[in-house]
Amino acid sequence: MSKLLVLSNGHGEDTIAVRIMEQLQQSIPALELLALPLVGDGYAYRRANFSLLCPSQAMPSGGFVYMDGQELWKDLQGGLLQLTISQYHIIRQLSREGAKILAVGDVLPLVLAWLSGSPYAFVGTAKSEYYLRDEKGWLKATPWWYRVLDSYYFPWELTLMRSPRCRGVFPRDTLTAKVLAKHAIAVADLGNPMMDGLHFSSPLDRENESFTILLLPGSRSPEAERNWQMILRAIEHLLKRMRKYRFLFVAAIAPSLDLSPFQLALEAQNWREKPFPLPVGDSQALTFSHDHKAHLILSQNAYGDCLALADLGIAMAGTATEQLVGLGKPVITFPGTGPQFTPWFAQAQTRLLGESVLLVDGPEQVTDALQKLVNNPDLWQAIAGNGQRRLGCPGAASRIAQSLREKLFAD
């Protein structure tokens, strides 16, 4: 029986890996699928009932060691080096047993896939040429060395992708695929699996004086709880300054998080639990009202519905922000204290997603950003087109699975 070992390094990467694995399960029923999350506890894999290989454990940084030297030091103290060595030995053992490797994420799973000695494929979720340029050319902030290299991927990463054992490279967007092809990488531009299973809706009717706003505080504790406090400050200012509008706030809280801190923070801001008809498919959702024009839903079980329902988002998240942008919707964002959503991350995300993201200094400026959108319907329309261009169309996981069947398991 053929084996595929899937390596991923982050919550969003785990979710993308699961989507591809589910498609492979359908197309190659005899394939044994094994998952090794390099950071975190592999919640997405466990939820989808895929076999997890130990060891895996949550690191203090939550997998964001590259953003802060202090976070890297915390992870090293927490056993990161020993964990990586143990994972390497597991990968080598499975390689000797004939397993092939699917690396999902950034350079770490790619390096481990190469070190395995087995044939492998790479789904590059972390890097995009949009961080450096768009269809018109280089961004002003792009450093000179990237312009010389002419790629966001470094030469050693390109070498790993050119290896004869690398049977498939799947970039996250068309622009990145075009640049990699210039560097003699055999890329397959098949789309971004993070958009699979999401529902596109029509652009907002600008004559309407009501908004449904998606709230995304992130998926890691305790950062998500800190972000939630900042988002509630943004809502407070919004309700004071835009009194003529009606608001429905829909908070998509990660299922792995305890809902109590989010509920307590709402009650401290004078939100009161009050039942009203749910527009999302989550019978366990909590509903709150602030006054007759403001309502809020706390949901952990209807993520896709929440994204489809929203007109725009207030977000301090990674993958979820990208998905909302991919649906053609604007996102207002501001930096937190990290370890993920730092000023550096927020600025990088804005480069990645372009005009779809309105980055402001703090919660108090969110109202100004929303009023800018209200007063500029052409911008709203441009954002709709920008999102699909940068994130692609649904169905990527199925296309990638078919390509893996042909390139990785053809023999």
Do 162 and 239 reside in the same domain of the chain? no
SS3 for the chain, per residue? CCEEEEEECCHHHHHHHHHHHHHHHHHCCCCEEEEEECCCCCHHHHHCCCEECCCCCCCCCCCCHHHCHHHHHHHHHCCHHHHHHHHHHHHHHHHHCCCEEEEEECHHHHHHHHHCCCCEEEEECCCCHHHCEECCEECCCCCHHHHHHCCCCCHHHHHHHHCCCEEEEECCCHHHHHHHHHCCCCECCCCCHHHCCCCCCCCCCCCCCEEEEEEECCCCCCHHHHHHHHHHHHHHHHHHHCCCCEEEEEEECCCCCCCHHHHHHHHHCCCEECCCCCCCCCCCCEEEEEECCEEEEEECCCHHHHHHHCCEEEECCCHHHHHHHHCCCCEEECCCCCCCCCHHHHHHHHHHHHHHEEECCCHHHHHHHHHHHHCCHHHHHHHHHHHHHHHCCCCHHHHHHHHHHHHCCCC
Domain span at 311: 210-391
For residues 11 and 129, membership in a common domain is answered with yes
Q: What is the pLDDT of residues 23-78, one digit of tens each?
A: 999 999 999 999 999 887 888 899 899 988 875 566 555 554 444 555 565 666 55
| Whether 97 and 179 share a structural domain | yes
Examine residue 203 and state whether it is found in any structural domain, yes or no: no
Residue 201 in domain: no
pLDDT of residue 131: 96
Residue-wise pLDDT for 289-345, tens only, equals 998 779 999 999 999 999 999 999 999 998 899 999 999 999 999 999 888 889 999
Domain count, the chain: 2
Residues 224 and 154 in one domain: no
In a domain, 232, yes or no: yes
Q: What is the reported pTM?
A: 0.88
pLDDT 10s digit of each residue in the chain, 411 long?
Answer: 699 999 998 878 999 999 999 999 999 999 999 999 988 788 889 989 998 887 556 655 555 444 455 556 566 655 677 778 888 999 999 999 999 999 999 999 999 999 999 999 999 999 999 999 999 999 999 999 999 999 999 999 999 999 999 999 999 999 999 999 999 999 999 999 999 988 776 555 545 688 999 999 998 889 999 999 999 999 999 999 999 999 999 999 998 899 999 999 999 999 999 999 999 999 999 999 998 779 999 999 999 999 999 999 999 998 899 999 999 999 999 999 888 889 999 999 999 999 999 999 999 999 999 999 999 989 988 998 899 889 988 899 999 999 999 999 876
CATH code where residue 265 lies:
3.40.50.2000
Q: Do 222 and 175 belong together in one domain?
A: no
- Residue 182 included in any domain: yes
